Structures are given as structure tokens and as C-alpha cells.
Amino acid sequence: MSKLYEQVADQLTELVNKGVYNHGEKLPSVRRLSRQFDVSTTTVVEAYRLLEDQGVLEVRPQSGHYVAKREPDVSAPRATCPEPNNPVPVTVGDLVLKVMKDNHNRDYVRLGGADTAADLLPVKRLQKCIAKASTDETSLTVYDHPPGCLELRQALAKLSLSAGLHCSPDDIILTLGCQEALTLCLRAVCKVGDVVAIESPTFYGQLQAIEMLGLRVLEIPSDPAEGMSLDALMLALDQMPVRAVLVTPSHNNPTGSCMSTDNRRELVEILEQAQVPLIEDDVYGDLGYNSTRLPAAASFDRSGNVLYCSSLSKTLAPGYRLGWTVAGRYQNEVHKLKALTNLASPSVLALGMAYYLMGNSYDRTLRTQRREYARRVREMRKAILKEFPSGTRVSDPRGGYVLWVELPRRVKTLELYEEARNRGVIYAPGPLFSAGKRYAHCLRLDASEWGPEAQKAVKILGRLFAESLA
Amino acid sequence: MSKLYEQVADQLTELVNKGVYNHGEKLPSVRRLSRQFDVSTTTVVEAYRLLEDQGVLEVRPQSGHYVAKREPDVSAPRATCPEPNNPVPVTVGDLVLKVMKDNHNRDYVRLGGADTAADLLPVKRLQKCIAKASTDETSLTVYDHPPGCLELRQALAKLSLSAGLHCSPDDIILTLGCQEALTLCLRAVCKVGDVVAIESPTFYGQLQAIEMLGLRVLEIPSDPAEGMSLDALMLALDQMPVRAVLVTPSHNNPTGSCMSTDNRRELVEILEQAQVPLIEDDVYGDLGYNSTRLPAAASFDRSGNVLYCSSLSKTLAPGYRLGWTVAGRYQNEVHKLKALTNLASPSVLALGMAYYLMGNSYDRTLRTQRREYARRVREMRKAILKEFPSGTRVSDPRGGYVLWVELPRRVKTLELYEEARNRGVIYAPGPLFSAGKRYAHCLRLDASEWGPEAQKAVKILGRLFAESLA
């Protein structure tokens, strides 16, 4: 049986190993630690002495006890493969999380996400706005309450005019990104087991929201340029108990498809007649390369049947998680669900964003982004067509910053994912974008950070896919 | 059929009436509005002229068009009752939202929430920390990824030591307040229809999370001083298919009950043996009046069976929505659910809070809060005993800042709610704290902002309750 001070020393060592205390960090005072561990100060002093002897900590005169700095081990090989490589059985859900995680790891060239280009965000201006908002005391001292920060809702109501939406600030509910908006709207209109019709392929975040809520997915054939086939949708409505339809009319992720104004109007009419609510995901609406924004489907809504969802994550601040919904006649239900799930979003970021939007520089920011994304997408597209095996087809989007690639059918992008990662490149395999695990020979690539590194990565992928055909 | 410019003018008037444009605010330029409305500039000029004639807007030379300022109507009576008073059928869920909303309205003396006292929060220091964090670019430009900001998780791992928890930063998942942590943990361990055992009475937020997820509630008798009866719990476990137990061992809201250390240990052992996960809500853990913090139930966990949830909303910044969970063996599942629900919480606030916690002033802040809350609760308690009808019983909490009041049985607090509101006072009626609508003669009062205004409100309530007995 070890002595008490040895036990304390062991626990402290464990805390250091776990990363609770960093190397070089000051440890608590003897008195404080004795309170925390509920032992005498003598025991702590002895424990600290032992740890000093063991080289775990060092004493700095007049200052206190510090975790010893670890000498870098120059002989150790640098990790080239940070995680074990054994194939593990994964569901698509787990795979999505894996791709998301890999796509955060700076050891790789990360083409697997749909992330805004950091160099195109008005960072300095937004930071100033947040600093200003943080001086507002109530945004700190008070729980915000749905629908959330009025100033931001006013700014968003103005912004929505360019999408043809004439809504009042009262019609808007702020959410934690568009993903939460979609989840809340799905919950407002569906119950467990209900069928939701979606485009195919479509953003895995939509699929996962549907699956997580215990709903069932019906994939409607969709054209990579024109979006969801309304004929196929009508057929489905006739034959299936579809409870809701979830569509991204503008620049669908992953294909970039963009529904025509006429089709948007017709979609709204069909669903109004069928009394099936339409959930519209408009996160890419502001990122069409053409300066004329198509009207949102919600702009044709006359009966409150459309639940419009969007966010500022794609054009201004992914990290701030500022989304919203205009939920038509489901407004009250969404309001309630938001309150029950997490009360409200942090209002300081909402207020800061409102200050930014009042400043009238958003239009200029958008112009730059549209031009740049159009260029980056075009160049990545050219590179893909050059480097990938013959027979490869690539989407030709009119907005957003992702590309959808169809390889020859024998190339299995899910099976090749690990090997691509070994070679340093992350992409999003096609089956992520389908509940039925379709699109085995497809992948999505993120063009937002196009540059020499991404160019090399496209070359690496091209070689990998060619090898798999050999 | 009205002319096009009249239609535009009508739409603008509507936008002003809806509050999209405030009185005194500048309207878009003619060119901009012509783009937004897809009409010619001539039409906009005519519409603006019409609106000027109608007094809706005014022209300021060299500057542009502004929404006309509305003259205050001094003869109108001031609203004393801002909402219609007709009784409407409500479920408890709707009533909670109503109380939450009323409790945000500054026209009332608001004793209906469980809000931190703004004067006891380290506002200036936190604001500086957020301003510093907002200069970190990646917190803006990049989606954070669960488990969230490492710096805050390190700070929380240190903080948790005082609750007897020895966890690593990797064990912590950041959430949008404790409410989201509870929801995610419930979803990780339960499926629709499962039974969750809780204290009775307990915080309506817990009840609503359970109901919203389609779970069923089993109320376990609980002592207003000692908390959940373990005998009653064991009986329930024998007789019912309980899937999870949700407990607030430290200073339960609303009763302030505090479970003894021995009972905490036993609770963990009972549930480990029964293989029923324990979800621990510890939001008030740091607010015991006694400076020695009782160990969290999770500190006795040896098998990963306890899912610990807490937040910084009660002691530092309600508005920032910074919660977290240490979810034991359900860690992976919670991680996944967080990612799928809303990706991650905004990292700029997490980072700012990490800076604050690194600064070592939290202990001092807590000391002040504990002393002050003890005093405010004591004084409100005295006032209640003096002003309320004889036979009234009031909880005597050892932490937190709410009081649980039991009136004579004939007083129905739900029925009297509207009348209390008419007299300017908001409280939380007892039935909110029970799925079975028990506690019809009880109410919860918030002592955090105790002062002359609250004192008057207690007097008003005392008179109202006495009248209802007459």
C-alpha cells in the first residue's frame, strides 16, 4: 500500500500525462492543492518533493512549482500517420464524423469539407464588431430568449429582401447554424418514422439530421444542373406518405445544382396543394457567381407552408454558428423546440454580427467571394479533368465552392479513402451523400482554398484512382 | 389594380410597420432598391415621392431617404397590461415558455426564473477576455469541431478537481449550456418511450428535455433537504424498466436539496449494480454557501456509468451558453450527437472563458457569490415567512439562489399566476416542476436579485395568496 503523499504524487503525474497541466505550467499552491485533494499541507509538500525528485516538476524560487518542460526527443520519427490504419466497420454516420475529424487535421491537404476560404472573410471588421458587442453587458449577464437578438433579426430581415423574402424580424428565429435550423424544422413538422423527401445526392448533414430524428429518407432523382426532378417528386407524393420535402434550391451541396425560378414557384405550388411542408436550405444562396440572386422558394409561399433556413457560416463567420429560420406557420412550434433544446444562442455574437451587417460592407464582401470562388472552382475543375482518369465527369456549378466528381464506375471512393489519407489527402466519398449508399464511384472536393497544395493533392488523387483502375 | 410604384410603396410601408426599418433609419438608395425589388429606378423614385407625400419617409438633402420619426402620442395611456388576459388552455410546456417570456419583460418584478445576479458577475474582466479571444482568427474562420475548444476543456478539467473529478480534457465535450448537455446525454442512453427517473419536484428544463425526446418520466419522492430518496429509487428500479436516472445532487432547483456524500456514493453504486446510467446535473455545484464543495456523484464512478453535466451559466456568464459533459462510457455517442445536431459551439466564447479561468480570479468571484446569495436567500426567506399566509413553508437551501415555497393547500398557484402578473409580479408556479402536475399549492421564487423591489413583490404575493384563502 503506497503512502498518502505517494498517492497524491501519482494523481498529479496522471493529471500531467492527461494534459490537464501542460509542461511549463504552474501548479496550484500547496494550500490550494491541500484543499482540492482534501489532504494536509504536509502531504502536499512531500508529494511535491517526490515529484521534484522524479523530474516531473521543478521548483522556481519565489514563484512556485511548475510542471517540468519535456526535452524534445529528436531521435523519434515524426508521425506521418497520426492514427492507426486498421480498417474498421463504419456506418455512414461514423464515416462522416471521421471525414469531418480528418478534415480538421492540418497534417493533410483537406478537400473533404465545404469550408469557407479564410482569406475571403472580413475577419478584422468582424472582430471589431464582436469586441464592440462584448461591451454590451446584458449579452453576458442574461440568458437570451428565443427568437434571439433583435438587432440581428432586423439586419437579417433586410438581407432577406435580396432573396425576395419580405419577412418581419418577428418571423425570424435565430439558431446555432443552419444545421440546427434544419433539425428544429424537421422536428416541428415530422414525428418518428415519417418520410422526408430530399434531393439525391445531397449534403450529408441533412441526411444525418433526418436519420438522427428517427425519420426515413426518400431520395428523389435530381439533375446535377437543375436540381430535384419535379416529375419524380410528384410521382413520389402520389405513391408515398411523404411528410416533408427538404430542398437546397440554390447551389446544392454537393452538386451545385440550381433550380430555375419557374421550378421554385412550381415546387412551392405542388407542395402547398399536397399540404406537405417544404424545408428550404438556402446557405449558399448568396454565393451564386451571377450577381442577380434567384428568389428563394420561400418568396413564392402564400400559406406559411415553407420553412426557410439559412446561416452566415458560408459567407461571414463559420465559427460563430449564426443561423436562422423563417418557419411559416410552424413558427410557434420551432420557437418552442429551440427554447427547450438549448434556450437560445449566445447573443454577443449575434449582436456583433448585427453591427457588421449594419455597416453595409457585406455586398462588397460578397462580390469578392463570388468572383474568387468562381475562379477557384473553375481552376480546380480544369485540374480534375486533366489529372483524373478519362471518363471522369465534374459538375459545373454556378455558385458555391464544391465540386461533385463522377469517376469511372469501377473506382470505389469509399474503399480508397484510407489510402488517399495515407497519401495526405482528405476528400468526401460519394456514399456520404446518399442514405442508400449510392454514388460509390463519386466524391466531393472543396475548391475554396484552391492553390498549389490543392493542385498537388488533385494530382495525387488522380494517380490513386488510375491505379485502382489498373 | 394599383400601379407598380404604388405597390412598391405599399411594400415599403409594410416593411416599416413590421419593424424591418426603424423610425429614423436610412432607406436603401434608389439604385439598390430597384435591384432588390426588380423594378426600374424611375418606379422607385415615384414610390419614394409617394411615401414622402404620405409622411412615411422624409428626404434629407445630400443624404437620402429616411423613415419618418413618429411623434410620441402623449395622450395614449401607458400599457399596464401588455398582453391580452383571456385565459387560454395551456400544457405545462407552453406555460413554461410563457413564464420564461414574462420573466424577460422588464415591466414586471421578475422572480420567476433562476437567473444569476448581474451585479455578482465579473463582467468587465470577462468582456476583456472575449475581446482578446475575438482577435484569434481561427475562432471566426473555421467551424469548431466537437469536443470543442481545447483551452477551455483544459481549464474545466482543472476546475473539476474541486468536485473530485479527475478527468482529462479529452473526456470533456463542450455544449450549448447544461440544457444541451442533458439533452445529448438523454439521447445517448435512451430511446423513444424509455423511462427516466428524476427527483420530484425538479427543474422544468429537465422535464421538458425528457418529454421533448419522447421519453417518460418517473418521479421519485425527494426530500427538500436531502434530495432523492434512495429507498424509493431502489423500489422503482425493482418494479419498473428505468432506463436512466437524472439527478441534481447539489442544490437541486427548485428545492435546494443537497444529497450527502454517503448518499452520492451509494447512488452511484446502486446504479452501477443495476446497470442504469446516472445523468448528474451539477450546475449549482459551485454555489454551496459552505466553502467546502461536496464531491460530485461522478467522482465515485468507476465504470463510466455516470454522465456528468454542468455549465458556467450560474456563476459566470448566462449569455455565453457554455456548458459541458463528461459522459463516461457514452462519450463517443454524445460526441456524435453533438456533431450531428449543430456541429459545435462557437469557439470564440469558449476561448475567452478559458482566458478568464486561467486568470485565477474565479475562486474570489465564487466566494463573493456564495456569501451574497446566502444573504439574499436568507432575507427573502424571512420576508416570505412574514408576508405569506400562516402555514406557509419555505425551503432552507445550503446553496444556489432559489426558494421553494409550500402554501396552504387551498392556494392554487397556477390559477393565481395571471392575477399576480396583473399586479406586476412573475413567479414560477409549482406544477411546472412536476410531470404529473403535482405541487398545485407551491411556487418557486428567485432570490438572486433580492432588494426593495423584490421585497415589495413578496408583499404583493402575500396579499394575493391571503385573498385567495379568504
What is the value of ipTM here, to two decimals? 0.82
**Contact criterion met (CB < 8 Å) for B100 and A192:** no
For B63-81, the DSSP string reads TEEEEPPPPP-TTSPPPSS
- Res B10: pLDDT: 83
For residue A319, give the nearest of B101, B318, B347 by CB distance: B347
Q: Which of B275, B253, B284, B278 is nearest to B263 (CA)?
A: B278
For residue A135, give the nearest of B36, B127, B166 by CB distance: B127
Locate cell 529528436: which residue?
A74
What are the chain A neighbours of B123 within 8 Å (beta carbons)?
A: 137, 140-141
Q: How far is CA B258 from CA B229, B277, B294, B306, B398, in A?
A: 12, 20, 9, 18, 7
Of the pLDDT bands very low, low, confident and very high (cuts 50, 70, 90), residue A1 is: low
Provide, rounded to the nearest whole percent, the portion of chain A with pLDDT above 70: 95
State residue A119 phi and psi, 5-degree precision. -75, -10
What are the chain A neighbours of B173 within 8 Å (beta carbons)?
A: none
3-state secondary structure of A353: helix
State residue A469 phi and psi, 5-degree precision. -90, -20
> CB of A408 within 8 Å of any CB in chain B?
no
- Res A92: pLDDT: 61
- Res B35: pLDDT: 82
Our CA-based measurement puts residue B392 at a distance from the nearest CA of chain A, in whole angstroms, of 31
- Res B84: pLDDT: 29
pLDDT surpasses 80 at A404: yes
- Res A70: pLDDT: 63
Q: How far is CA A112 from CA A105, A370, A382, A402, A426, in A?
A: 11, 21, 18, 10, 5
Locate cell 482577435: which residue?
B135
Measured from the Cβ of residue B63, the count of other Cβ atoms closer than 10 Å reads 8
> CB of B317 within 8 Å of any CB in chain A?
yes
pLDDT surpasses 70 at A85: no
Dihedral angle over CA of A77, A83, A84, A89, nearest 10: -170
Q: Are A244 and A258 in contact (CB under 8 A)?
A: no
- Res A334: pLDDT: 96
Residue-range domains of chain B with CATH: 4-67 (1.10.10.10), 74-119+366-469 (3.90.1150.10), 121-361 (3.40.640.10)
pLDDT tens, position by position, B120-148: 999 999 999 999 999 988 888 888 889 99
Cell numbers at A48, concatenated:
511535491
Cell numbers at B132, concatenated:
482578446
pLDDT surpasses 90 at A179: yes
Q: How far is CA B155 from CA A22, B85, B140, B324, B383, in A?
A: 11, 48, 21, 12, 40
Query: What's the rounded mean pLDDT across residues A248-274?
Result: 97
pLDDT tens, position by position, A2-48: 788 888 888 888 888 878 888 888 888 888 888 888 888 899 999 99
Backbone dihedral region of A143: left (phi > 0), alpha (psi from -120 to 50 degrees) or beta? Answer: beta
**Contact criterion met (CB < 8 Å) for B339 and A97:** yes
Cell numbers at B219, concatenated:
418521479
Q: Are A197 and A242 in contact (CB under 8 A)?
A: yes
Q: What single-letter amino acid sits at B94?
A: D
- Res A95: pLDDT: 83
B204: nearest CA partner in chain A:
A340
Q: Please, which residues 111-130 of chain A have a Cβ atom closer than 8 Å to chain B?
A: 113, 115-116, 118, 121, 123, 126-127, 130
- Res B292: pLDDT: 81
Dihedral angle over CA of A202, A203, A205, A208, nearest 10: 30
pLDDT tens, position by position, B215-272: 999 999 999 899 999 999 999 999 989 999 999 999 999 999 999 999 999 999 999 9
Cell numbers at B265, concatenated:
456514493
Q: Are strands B64-67 and A428-429 parallel, antiparallel or unpaired?
A: unpaired
Q: Which of A367, B304, B14, B174 is nearest to B6 (CA)?
A: B14
Q: How far is CA A7 from CA A47, A118, B337, B446, in A?
A: 8, 48, 37, 43
Query: What's the rounded mean pLDDT across residues A232-249?
Result: 95
How far apart are alpha carbons B172 and B386 in whole angstroms? 46
B353: nearest CA partner in chain A:
A140
Listed range (A373-377, B145-149, B277-281) with the worst mean pLDDT: B145-149
> A417-431, B24-38, B140-154 — which one is most confidently predicted on average?
A417-431
State residue A348 phi and psi, 5-degree precision. -65, -40
Q: Are A305 and A272 in contact (CB under 8 A)?
A: yes
Cell numbers at A338, concatenated:
429551440
Of the pLDDT bands very low, low, confident and very high (cuts 50, 70, 90), residue B79 is: very low
> CB of B100 within 8 Å of any CB in chain A?
yes
Of the pLDDT bands very low, low, confident and very high (cuts 50, 70, 90), residue B80 is: very low
How far apart are alpha carbons A369 and A116 in whole angstroms? 10
**Contact criterion met (CB < 8 Å) for B157 and A341:** no
**Contact criterion met (CB < 8 Å) for B97 and A320:** no
How far apart are alpha carbons A446 and A425 in whole angstroms? 12
Of the pLDDT bands very low, low, confident and very high (cuts 50, 70, 90), residue B340 is: confident
How far apart are alpha carbons B388 and B466 in whole angstroms? 7
Q: Which residues contact A217 (CB under 8 A, 6 or more apart)?
A: A195, A196, A198, A207, A210, A211, A435
3-state secondary structure of B174: strand
> CB of B89 within 8 Å of any CB in chain A?
no
Please state the length of chain A.
470
How far apart are alpha carbons B237 and B61 in whole angstroms? 77
Provide, rounded to the nearest whole percent, the portion of chain B with pLDDT above 70: 95
A178: nearest CA partner in chain B:
B342
> CB of B69 within 8 Å of any CB in chain A?
no
pLDDT tens, position by position, B396-425: 999 999 999 999 999 999 999 999 999 999
